[in-house]
Amino acid sequence: MREILGRRRRLLSWRIGTRSGRGAGQLGAALTFATAWRWPVLPGVGLDRRGGGRCACPDPECVVPGAHPLDPGLLAASTDERMVRWWWTNRPAAPVVLATGGRAPCAVSLPADAGERALAALDEAGIRLGPVVATESRVFILVAPYSLAQLGELLHAQDHVPGSLRFHGEGGYLALPPSGTGQGTVRWERAPLPGSAAPWVPDVEAVVDAVVDALTRTGVSAPEM
């Protein structure tokens, strides 16, 4: 039964992701995030036109190719409809980058294989999740905004924090569907339900406790190379 429910959940996620992301394109997605959900977004730098999955930024060893802001910088992230339309009218293929923290969601991310196991553990524990974003290499669990002090206290209380965990809080960012990046197309692993209201997201405490426990139990603790 759990396998059948999992298949149905993934199918629903794919259908919703198609309607609200890939089918609408970057502009449609950016307008939903910014104007309906009030999440500040800005265009990512994108990929080098010469191909090969290289970032268009000057760093030849960029670790998040295409999926980060450059010009404009992160502080320019906006919920203004006119600004969003201007950005993506001029750069229709630009990735949609969310400025995390403040009034926008933050995220906890981990390597893709470990992420699948962590999501299964969270489901098994009965922990409600909101939207989850994924690339070929990582899974990003969206959580409620948190402060650095709050995160520090949370991590201090853990016996061990796997090095594979990353935290995207105030001053951070992540690419949202349907952005094209050097890691492939960003997709919804758990899609938000369709509608105009901003999706619900869990508190970081519930997610981190369960993810750390899941990664520790499965031995996924080394940093991603």
Q: What is the DSSP string of the chain?
A: -HHHHHHHHHHHHHHHHIIIIITTHHHHHHHIIIIIS---EEE---B-TT-TT-BSSS-TT-SSTT-S--SS-GGG-B--HHHHHHHHHH-TT--EEEE-BTTB-EEEEEEHHHHHHHHHHHHHTT-----EEE-SSEEEEEE----HHHHHHHHHTSS---TT-EEE-TT-EEEETT-EETTEE-EEEEPPPSSSSPPP---HHHHHHHHHHHHHHHT--SPP-
Binning pLDDT at 50, 70 and 90, where does residue 218 land?
Answer: low
**Tens digit of pLDDT for each residue in 34-59?**
999 999 999 999 998 887 788 999 99
**Tens digit of pLDDT for each residue in 148-198?**
888 888 888 877 777 778 899 999 999 999 999 998 899 999 999 887 789
